[in-house]
Amino acid sequence: MSNSYIITNTDKNLGIAVSKRTWLKEKCLELLNDEQNYTFIHPLTVVNKLDKKCTDIEILACLAEAHLNDGKQIGNYLRHLITPPESKHNVPTFYDIPKIHKEPVKMRPIIPCHSAIQNPTAKYVSKILKPIIKSAPTIIHGTKDLVIKLSKLKLTPNRKFYIVTSDVVAFYPSIPIQKCIDIVADLYAQFYFNDEIPQTESKLRLVRLGGKETTSEARS
C-alpha cells in the first residue's frame, strides 16, 4: 500500500493480481460511468428504498409465519438482517476485480450482498428453486456436469458436430424483472403443486420430501 499497489483476486479465480491503486480506481469509475447500466441515486433515495425493503421483508416474514411449516423459524430468518430502528442501513460496497484473461484487461463488478437486508430472502428462494433447476434437462451444472453429459453422447462417425455457446453482455441488468418473476412462479406452481396455484392453507403447507408430497398434519 505504501507504493500505491493493491493485491486483488481475479475473475474466474485465475490467481491474484497486483495493480496500481490509481488504475483500479480509474477502471472502477469507468464502469460506473456507463449510463446504460448504472444510474446515480441520491442518498435520500437510497434510504427510502431500503426502508421499503425492510417493510416488504417484514410482510414476507409474517406471511411465512402464518402459512409455512416451521413458519416461525423461517420468519425470524427472513427478517434477521432488517435494519434495527434508529440505525443506519448496511449498504453493500461496490468494487471490481481484473479480468486478466481479456485483452485489453476489463473489470468484473462485484457487490458483496452477504449482509444485505434481502440476503436471507434470496437464500430461501434459492433453496426452494434448487430442485426445479436440478430437474431441468437444459441446464448445465458446471464444467464437470458438461463433461459427463458429453461423455454419454453417441455421435455418428464421419460427421461434424459443433458446440455453440453465447455470452450475454450485462446479462442480469437486461433481464425483464416482472417477466422473470412470472416465469419462475409458473415453474414453482408446476413443480410443487401440479400447475395449480395453492389457494388453501393445507396446500400452502404442502412440502416435498424425498420426492413425496406430504402435509404438516401427516408428518406429525
Separation between Cα atoms, residue 48 and residue 55, nearest integer Å:
11
Q: What is the pLDDT of residue 59?
A: 97
Strand 212-214 versus strand 207-209 pairing type: antiparallel
Q: What sign does the dihedral 129-218-65-120 (CA atoms) show?
A: negative
Separation between Cα atoms, residue 102 and residue 106, nearest integer Å:
6
Separation between Cα atoms, residue 106 and residue 11, nearest integer Å:
10
Please state the domain extents for the chain: 41-82+117-136
Q: What sign does the dihedral 173-179-182-185 (CA atoms) show?
A: negative
pLDDT confidence tier of residue 211, bands split at 50, 70 and 90: very low
Q: Mean pLDDT across the stretch 162-187?
A: 82
83 pLDDT more than 90: yes
pTM for the model stands at: 0.72
Q: What is the pLDDT of residue 212?
A: 40
DSSP state of 11: G
For 118-127, write each residue's pLDDT tens digit.
Answer: 999 999 999 9
pLDDT confidence tier of residue 46, bands split at 50, 70 and 90: very high
For 185-194, write each residue's pLDDT tens digit.
Answer: 888 888 888 7
213 pLDDT more than 50: no
SS (H, E, C) 93-106: CCEEEEECCCCCCE
196 pLDDT more than 70: no
Which residues have a Cβ under 8 Å from the Cβ of 131 and sit 6 or more positions away?
A: 191, 208
Chain-wide mean pLDDT for the chain? 84
Separation between Cα atoms, residue 37 and residue 94, nearest integer Å:
14
Q: Bridge-partner residues for 8, per DSSP?
A: 17
Q: What is the pLDDT of residue 201?
A: 55
Beta strands in the chain (DSSP E): 5-9, 16-20, 95-99, 106-110, 207-209, 212-214
pLDDT confidence tier of residue 205, bands split at 50, 70 and 90: low
For 1-28, write each residue's pLDDT tens digit.
Answer: 567 899 999 998 889 999 999 999 999 9
Q: Bridge-partner residues for 107, per DSSP?
A: 98
Q: Which among 8, 32, 30 is positioned nearest to 19, based on CA atoms?
A: 8
Separation between Cα atoms, residue 24 and residue 29, nearest integer Å:
9
Tell me if 121 sits within 8 A of 128, measured CB to CB: no
Tell me if 18 sits within 8 A of 7, measured CB to CB: yes
Separation between Cα atoms, residue 81 and residue 120, nearest integer Å:
8
